[in-house]
Amino acid sequence: MFYSYIKKIKNLTVGELEVASMITAGLTYLETAKRIGKSINTVRGRIKSIYFKLGVENSVQLTNLHQALDTRFSAADFFWNIIKIILFLGW
């Protein structure tokens, strides 16, 4: 399971990873939009793409996915650590 989700996560854009890290940390769409300096519609679009790419339907499933893969990282750091793993393994 772990490697199949890493392969899915590596398909996320930097913007999607940024949004995913904020959503799994508990920020609302509006709070996320303000932090990244984008519109709430941009955040909604990125969320829709994240859910599609990862095969989840909502932020609860996204957060549960994070917890299932690795509970050692905080939600905010999780997706950035996945990027490091992907770069290290050369995927």
Higher-confidence residue: 32 or 3? 32
Higher-confidence residue: 40 or 81? 40
Higher-confidence residue: 70 or 6? 6
Report CA-CA distances (Å) from 40 to 10, 70, 71.
24, 29, 29
Whole-model pTM: value is: 0.72
51-84 pLDDT, tens digit per residue, is: 999 888 998 888 887 777 655 445 556 666 666 6
> Which helix (H) or strand (E) covers residue 21, if one does?
helix 14-24
**Alpha carbons within 13 A on the beta-carbon side of 13:** 10
pLDDT at 48 > cutoff 80 = yes
